[in-house]
Each structure stands twice: as structure tokens, then as C-alpha cells.
């Protein structure tokens, strides 16, 4: 496997996963807004904050009302993390390694790009259109994962696809969880608890996790239970814990995996040690930052080990340009 191709595969699924999770994040937030009682407040800028895009918004001088933020997150090609940009990058990346993927994959990714290009406008302009279009995107993305699972050899290329997907997914799960820590609750304590319950229900729904949570945890939707579930449950495929174990599984079949494995296990151990009982929002936010940093360290280790030969070439060319 060429270093350059491995890196492109890795980023291709990261972009796809980012687009899917941004769609989930937006859907969840739109739901949250509908459920908020009087006296609770939620600002759209929170989305920008959890997506880590504050600086770009400031630089661009964009307004932080619903319409502007939606346009920025969904169809703004000047935002490298917007849904349209992510899928565009994924598609361009796919072009460079079509030969390692099953043939139909390119058609599906190309189709996904055409879909979002043609529907992005509808998604930014009305809430009902938004839900529809974003769900369509999630469906198409899921069918790509299905096709890969069912028609691609679980070879080295497959491992890099899986690594990118799980790293991005774990990261985005922490960001989606983080949204709720920014909601200002009503002062009435009963109403506050009810509100919190609704918020977490929306989060679980956004991650397609509600049903599984009810089966495996219980019918009551309590902050600490939900956070514990989404971070530490070993079996649900969007939890940080599960993603980390998938990452470990991929690393096991790759050559020279020592450093990346070490970083993954470090992230693992820190996650296991986190005490989530009686958690206040500020501390939760810090915990989530820590998880994101640990995932970043796994990425750095992967990058140094496997993409290095390719990047070295870039470094050699760069000074002359």
C-alpha cells in the first residue's frame, strides 16, 4: 500500500464521517430547539464552538443567526468542514485511489456529492427541508459503509478506511455530546431536569442510539447515564470506547504499529478512568477536550508512522515552490 494512497483513504472516510456527523449534529440541535421550554436558552454559536470553527466565523465576520450558521455548516465552500466541502474532498480523494476500491464505491460517492450539491440550498432554507435532506445524506453515507463491508476485502486499504472512520466518529461523538453543556437551563429545578432529559433524548436520537440505550441502560434518560453510555459503552458502534477498540483492531494487522498502538491505549486508559457520576457541565466539557486531545495524539502517531514517506517527499519539494 502506497503511503500516499493510505493517507488519502484515511482522509476520505474522515471527511465522509465528518459530513455525516455534522448532519447528525444539526438535526439534533434543530430538535433541541423545538423541545426547549420557556426560560431555557440556546445559542446557534454553540454549534460553531463545538465544531471548533469559532476563529473562521470571526475572520469571515458572519452573523450567528440560524440561517447564516446553517449556510456556513452545510453549503459554504469557504468552510473546509462544511458538509459540501467534506463530501467534495472525499470525492476528490476517491478519484486518486479508485483502483483499490470496489468499482461501485466511486459511483456511490459521486452520487452522494451530486445529491448534496443539488440539495444543499434546500437544507439551509427551511427546517423541514433540512431534516429531509440531511437524513437523505445519512442514508446514502450508510449505504456506502454497507457496500464497503459487503464487497471489499478486509485488506490493508480497508484498515485505513476503518481507522479514518472511527477516529473521526469518536471525535464527533464527543462534540455532539458537548452541545448540551452549553444550554442555559430554566431556574425551576423540576423544569430543568425535564429539559435536560429532553436534550439528551435528542442527542441519543441524533446518534441513532435511543433504542439501544433503552434496551441496554433503561428508560430514564439521565445526564450521567447518557454521557457514560456514549463515551464508554463497549458495544454501541458510535461510542468513543467502541471506536477506540476498532482502532486497536485495525492497528493489530498493520506493520510497525507500536507507537500508534501506544497512543490508542493511552486514550483508552484515560477514558476508563474518567468518573462521570455527578458531573457538572464545565468538567464534562474539560473531559471531552481531553478525549479530543487523546484522539489527536493517535492521529499524529498514525501519520508519523504510515504517511511519513509520502510527506517527506512533499517537504523536499516545498522549499522550491
Q: Which residues are at the interface with another protein (CB under 8 A)?
A: 1-6, 92, 95-99, 103, 106-107, 110-111, 114, 156, 254-256, 305-306, 309-310, 313-314, 317
Q: Are 34 and 53 in contact (CB under 8 A)?
A: no
Residue with cell 482502532: 247
Q: Which is nearer to another protein, 167 or 231 (CB)?
A: 167
Provide the minimum distance between the beta carbon of 226 and another protein in the complex, in angstroms, as a whole number. Answer: 38
Residue 193 Cβ, how far from another protein at the closest point, in Å? 50
Closest CB to another protein among 95 and 121? 95
Residue 2 beta carbon to another protein: minimum distance, rounded to whole angstroms: 5
Backbone angles phi, psi at 146, to 5 degrees: -60, -45
Nearer to another protein, 42 or 106 (CB): 106
Residue 13 beta carbon to another protein: minimum distance, rounded to whole angstroms: 16
Shortest distance (Å) from residue 168 CB to another protein: 19
Asked whether the CA dihedral 15, 246, 296, 10 is positive or negative, the reply is negative
Q: Write phi, then psi, for 235 (nearest 5 degrees).
A: -105, -25
The length of the chain is 321
CA 43/CA 285 separation, integer angstroms: 17
Q: Which residues contact 293 (CB under 8 A, 6 or more apart)?
A: none
Beta carbon nearer to another protein, 99 or 187: 99
Tell me whether residue 45 or residue 92 sits nearer to another protein (CB atom).
92
Q: State which residue, 130 or 165, has the beta carbon closest to another protein.
A: 165
**Residue whose CB is less far from another protein, 152 or 279:** 152
CB of 311 to another protein, least distance (A): 10
Whole-Å CA distances, 189 to 35, 179, 195:
17, 20, 10
Element (H, E) at 152: none
| Minimum distance, C-beta of residue 263 to another protein, in the bound complex (Å) | 17
Query: How would you class 186 by CB atoms within 10 Å of its CB: exposed for 0-12, middle for 13-18, buried for 19 or more?
Result: middle
Closer residue to another protein, CB minimum distance, 117 or 232: 117
Q: Please tell me what DSSP assigns to residue 41.
A: B
The 8 Å CB, 24+ separation contacts for 257-262 are: 257/305, 259/301, 259/304, 259/305, 260/298, 260/301, 260/302, 260/305, 262/301
What is the rounded CA–CA span in Å between residue 51 and residue 26?
A: 11
The least distance separating another protein from the CB of residue 112, rounded to whole angstroms, comes to 10
Amino acid at each position: 500500500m502506497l503511503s500516499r494512497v493510505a493517507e488519502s483513504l484515511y482522509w476520505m472516510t474522515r471527511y465522509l464521517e465528518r459530513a455525516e456527523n455534522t448532519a447528525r449534529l444539526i438535526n439534533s440541535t434543530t430538535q433541541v430547539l423545538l423541545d426547549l421550554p420557556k426560560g431555557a436558552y440556546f445559542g446557534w454559536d454553540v454549534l460553531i464552538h463545538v465544531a471548533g470553527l469559532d476563529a473562521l466565523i470571526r475572520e469571515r465576520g458572519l452573523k450567528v443567526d440560524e440561517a447564516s450558521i446553517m449556510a456556513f455548516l452545510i453549503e459554504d465552500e469557504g468552510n473546509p468542514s462544511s458538509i459540501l466541502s467534506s463530501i467534495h474532498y472525499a470525492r476528490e480523494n476517491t478519484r486518486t485511489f479508485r483502483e483499490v476500491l470496489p468499482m461501485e464505491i466511486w459511483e456511490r460517492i459521486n452520487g452522494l456529492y451530486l445529491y448534496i450539491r443539488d440539495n444543499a440550498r434546500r437544507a439551509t432554507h427551511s427546517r423541514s427541508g433540512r431534516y429531509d435532506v440531511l437524513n437523505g445524506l445519512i442514508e446514502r453515507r450508510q449505504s456506502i459503509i454497507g457496500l464497503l463491508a459487503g464487497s471489499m476485502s478486509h485488506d490493508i486499504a480497508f484498515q485505513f478506511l476503518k481507522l479514518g472512520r472511527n477516529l473521526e466518529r469518536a471525535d464527533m461523538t464527543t462534540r455532539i455530546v458537548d452541545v448540551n453543556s452549553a444550554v442555559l437551563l430554566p431556574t425551576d429545578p423540576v423544569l430543568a431536569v425535564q429539559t435536560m432529559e429532553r436534550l439528551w433524548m435528542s442527542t441519543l436520537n441524533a446518534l441513532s442510539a435511543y433504542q439501544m440505550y433503552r434496551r441496554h441502560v433503561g428508560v430514564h434518560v439521565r445526564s450521567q447515564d447518557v454521557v457514560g453510555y456514549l463515551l464508554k459503552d463497549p458495544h454501541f458502534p458510535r461510542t468513543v470506547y467502541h471506536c477506540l477498540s476498532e482502532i486497536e483492531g485495525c492497528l493489530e494487522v498493520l506493520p510497525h504499529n507500536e507507537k500508534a498502538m501506544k497512543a490508542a491505549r493511552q486514550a483508552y486508559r484515560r477514558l476508563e478512568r474518567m468518573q462521570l457520576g455527578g458531573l457538572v457541565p464545565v468538567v464534562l466539557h474539560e473531559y471531552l477536550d481531553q478525549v479530543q486531545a487523546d484522539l489527536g495524539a493517535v492521529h499524529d502517531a498514525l501519520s508519523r508512522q504510515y504517511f511519513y514517506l509520502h510527506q517527506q517527499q512533499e517537504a523536499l519539494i516545498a522549499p522550491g515552490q
